[in-house]
Amino acid sequence: MGSLSIVTNAAVTRALVGREEDVLDRVRTTYLRHADGRTVNPDSYFLRFPDKPDSRIIALPAFLDGEHAVAGIKWIASFPANVSQGRQRASALLVLNDYDTGYPVAVLESAVISAARTAASAALAVRVLAKREPSTVGVIGAGYIARTVCGYLDATGAPLRQAICHDTDERSAEALVRHLNGSGHGGRAEPGSLDQALDADLVVFATTALAPYVPATHVFRADQLVLNLSLRDLAPEIVLRANNVVDDVEHCLKAGTTPHLAEELHGSRDFVNGTLAEVILGQTELDPSRPIVFSPFGLGVLDLAVGQQVLAWAVAAGQALDIPDFFGDQIRWHPDDAA
């Protein structure tokens, strides 16, 4: 009674190895449950710093209903300056709470979980939205998220026959190229310019951009699918010329994202075709003469769903560290007190 499970980065990583399809399926199921009103996903809260405008720590509280209902919160920091110091940009924790009592039951290192749910969401979007199997993939931004997305694409049926990797830091692009060429996926990766990456059949944005830099004059082909994972790379005029699919309309159209800027420019939200869940359910139609842009804001319920499964896998493998009596005695009144 009163114990807390700790799942470290190493344990989370081991739990996720080879389970890309399982994670993708869990993300798909969670999107559908969210569309069915079986989740609570409040606004994310951004903690920002006056002297570090590019840095933030975000709180994502959420609740996922169902047979194994769970509540929790992800606390994720993004400090881009870490990269120049040889550190990962993001770090995160996920706290899972028991729905019956409210007590926290587990704390998981969550940068890996966050990357996995983002990558699974991207891979699911390709499976659902791509008009044909992409022959070329342009990866813009070459950090950990990009690496994880590429791994999930390859493992779930979108083979990386030719990947063009671009980053403003050439060393990062070269590192991603080396990683992909050494991962045994069977394709070929090479560094390339921004224009070369933008011309790929599948374009993946995974940057830390704070404002659009792809100009309004850029035109995507009708057969292209754009995964707008980092949300702020494209000029709003670009998405106004495309089919737009999001994970959640209310969440995505805020905080200066490209869809948010497009709403301000356009004066309404009618340029949004629908959510990925609605596409899966056949509830929305896309214009075949336009490219498709998928913009996922990132839902806390996805972290809960994947984190809950990772915890189960880690416990089954004996990889979760149990701290007994972390909360002490949870009994409010003892028999002796009534005497």
How would you write the pLDDT of the chain (339 residues) with one tens digit per residue? 578 999 999 999 999 999 999 999 999 999 999 999 999 999 989 999 999 999 999 999 999 998 889 999 999 999 989 988 888 888 999 999 999 999 999 999 999 999 999 999 999 999 999 999 999 999 999 999 999 999 999 999 887 889 999 999 999 999 999 999 987 776 899 999 999 999 999 999 999 898 999 999 999 999 999 999 999 999 999 999 999 999 999 999 998 999 999 999 999 999 999 999 999 999 999 999 999 999 999 999 999 999 999 999 999 999 999 999 888 776 777 666 655
In a domain, 124, yes or no: no
What's the domain range around 64? 4-113+300-338
Domain shared by 142 and 226, yes or no: yes
In a domain, 118, yes or no: no
pTM here? 0.93
Domain shared by 165 and 195, yes or no: yes
Spatial neighbors of 119 by CB under 8 A, at least 6 apart, are: 20, 145, 148, 149, 151, 152, 153
Domain shared by 242 and 139, yes or no: yes
In a domain, 227, yes or no: yes
User: Roughly how many angstroms between the first and final C-alpha of the chain, as a whole number?
Assistant: 24
Domain shared by 16 and 79, yes or no: yes
Domain shared by 289 and 141, yes or no: yes
Rounded distance between C-alpha atoms, residue 189 and residue 197, angstroms:
11
In a domain, 282, yes or no: yes
pLDDT at position 86 = 84
